[in-house]
Structure 1
Amino acid sequence: MAKQLFAAKPMQITGVDLSEEMVKLARSNVPAGDFYTQDIRKLDFPRDHFNAIVMSFCIVHLSDEESYRLLANAINWLYPGGILYLSFMEGKKAGFETTSFSEEPIYFNYFKGNVIEKFLVSNGITILQMVRQNYNELDGSVTTDIFIFGKKD
Structure 2
Amino acid sequence: MGDHGHHNSVRRSYDTVAEEYTARLHNELAEKPLDRALLASLLEQTEPGTVIADLGCGPGHVAAWLAAKGARTVGVDLSAGMIEAGGRRFAQVEFRQGDLLELPAEDGEFGSAVAFYTIIHLDPDDLHRAFGEARRVLRPSGLLLLSFHIGDEVVHRDEWWGYGVDVDFRFFEPSYITELLEGAGFTVEMHMERTHYAHEVATRRAYLLARRT
Q: Which has the higher helix share?
A: 2
- Matched to 2:147, the amino acid is S
Aligned positions of 1:27-106 closer than 5 A = 27-98=87-158, 100-101=160-161, 102-106=163-167
- Matched to 1:97, the amino acid is R
8 Å CA contact 1:3–1:30 kept in 2: the answer is yes
8 Å CA contact 1:6–1:30 kept in 2: the answer is no
Query: How far 1:68 sits from its partner (Å)?
Result: 2.0
Counterpart of 1:121 in structure 2 is 182
Query: How far 1:115 sits from its partner (Å)?
Result: 1.1
Separation in 2 of the partners of 1:67 and 1:99? 26
Q: RMSD between aligned alpha carbons?
A: 2.5
- Matched to 1:129, the amino acid is M
- Matched to 1:53, the amino acid is A
TM-score, reference length from structure 2: 0.60
- Matched to 2:185, the amino acid is G
Query: How far 1:61 sits from its partner (Å)?
Result: 0.7
Separation in 2 of the partners of 1:21 and 1:44? 17
Query: How far 1:9 sits from its partner (Å)?
Result: 1.4
8 Å CA contact 2:152–2:173 kept in 1: the answer is no
Separation in 1 of the partners of 2:187 and 2:176? 14
Deviation readout 1:71-108 (Å, 9 max, x if unpaired): 11101211112111111112242252356545424211
Q: Which has the higher strand share?
A: 1
Number of equivalent positions: 148
Question: CA, structure 1 residues 9+59, in 2 after alignment: closer, same or farther (shift >3 Å)?
Answer: same
Matched, 1:109 2:170: yes
Which consecutive residues of structure 2, in runs of 5 or more, have no partner in the other structure? 1-61
Separation in 2 of the partners of 1:106 and 1:126? 31
Aligned positions of 1:18-29 closer than 5 A = 18-29=78-89
Counterpart of 1:132 in structure 2 is 193
Question: CA, structure 1 residues 125+40, in 2 after alignment: closer, same or farther (shift >3 Å)?
Answer: closer
Identity %: 23
Counterpart of 2:55 in structure 1 is none
TM-score, reference length from structure 1: 0.80
Mean Cα deviation higher: 89-98 or 63-72: 89-98
